[in-house]
Amino acid sequence: MTDAPVIVDADDLYAGYLPGIDILNGCSMRVQEGELIGIIGPNGAGKSTFLKALFGLVPIRSGSVTLGDEDITNMRADELVKRGIGFVPQTNNVFPSLTVLENLEMGTYQRPKAFKAQWERIGELFPKLVDRRDQRAGSLSGGERQMVAMARALMMDPKVLLLDEPSAGLSPDRQDETFVRTREINRTGVTVIMVEQNARRCLQICDRGYVLDQGTTAYTASGQELLKDPKVIELYLGTLGA
């Protein structure tokens, strides 16, 4: 860990969808400015729920989340967008009946004046989307949708970016591209918290990893350490091709 200031501090979160059923029970995470954090864990561990709870889409029953020095626990998503948090959900992450261009426009909904400049910037990052700008997002391929989803979040120029399995469903070379791109985005100063199934690739590029299991953040260490941790290897990385 460096001594950069803490930007996101989630402390002992309990949260869930249905009354009385907690999916998260005691999740904590402390993220420093400029870090790239990877979250791994088995299916159903609550990784997506954790990101959604950070982002105000799942009610937090106890615990707190702070952004800088501000308490953002259970804040409405649109308020969080205003404060510079961007979120790319795991599923349903585009507006299918809107065109690509309109999807990205929604990314700058709160700052319409910034649209043009951002569109040019993002257009350079995703040239393919520029060609497809008038196509309905619902008719794009899965990989292209992921691109739209990521681009939409980047349009907001977020300080903190939450990514839920950005490489899901992509071909191996596209997955690599996604990881490289995420790293690049992180290098421009954006703090990134990403959930990944592709644990090995994720831990290779991230500064720090968290292992989330059964609704609790089991442990954390640098990506390199987790890659070498025998327990992590056994449970999450698999011994094949290690």
Ligand X SMILES: Nc1ncnc2c1ncn2[C@@H]1O[C@H](COP(=O)(O)OP(=O)(O)OP(=O)(O)O)[C@@H](O)[C@H]1O
Interacting residues with another protein (CB under 8 A): 55, 57, 76-78, 81-82, 87, 89, 92-99, 102, 105-107, 109-110, 112, 134, 136, 138, 152, 156
Number of Cβ within a 10 Å radius of residue 17: 12
**Helix or strand holding residue 87 (H, E):** strand 85-88
Distance CA 30, CA 46 (A): 17
Q: How far is the C-alpha of 196 from the C-alpha of 54, rounded, in Å?
A: 17
Residue 96: CB minimum distance to another protein, A: 6
Q: Considering only residues 89-118, where is the footprint of ligand X by CB under 6 A? A: 90
- Using the minimum distance from each CB to another protein, give the nearer residue, 5 or 142: 142
Output 47 or 145, the one with its CB closest to Mg ion.
47
Please tell me what DSSP assigns to residue 112: G
Tally the C-alpha atoms within 13 A of residue 31's C-alpha that lie toward its C-beta: 29
Q: Compare residues 23 and 194 and give the one whose CB is closer to ligand X.
A: 23
77, 37 in Cβ contact below 8 A? no
Reported as half-sphere exposure (CB side, CA atoms, 13 A), residue 52 has a value of 18
Please report whether residue 23 would count as binding ligand X according to CB under 6 A.
yes
Residue at shortest CB range from Mg ion: 48
The residue with tokens 């349009």 is: 155
Q: Which does 81 bind (CB under 5 to 8 A by kind): Mg ion, ligand X, another protein, none?
A: another protein
Confirm if 55 and 195 have CB atoms less than 8 A apart: no
209 belongs to the binding site for ligand X (CB under 6 A)? no
- What, of Mg ion, ligand X, another protein, none, does residue 171 touch, CB below 5 to 8 Å by kind? none
Q: Measured from the CB of residue 114, what is the shortest distance to ligand X in angstroms? A: 31
Figure out which of the listed residues 45, 148, 153, 170 binds ligand X, where binding follows CB under 6 A. Answer: 45
What are 128's strand-pairing partners? none
Binding mask 70-99 for Mg ion (x = CB under 5 A): --------------------x---------
For Mg ion, which is the closer residue by CB, 47 or 132?
47
> Nearest approach, Cβ of 206 to ligand X (angstroms)?
17
Cα 38 to the chain's mean position, in Å?
Answer: 9
- Nearest to ligand X of 29, 155 (CB atom): 29
Q: Distance between CA 13 and CA 25 in Å, rounded? A: 6
Closest CB to ligand X among 7 and 212?
212
Query: Would you state the structure tokens that stand for residue 105, as one six-digit string?
Result: 């426009």
32 lies in the binding site for Mg ion (CB under 5 A): no
Q: What value, to the nearest 5°, has the Cα angle with vertex 210 and ends 195 and 226? A: 110
Binding site for Mg ion (CB under 5 A): 47-48, 90
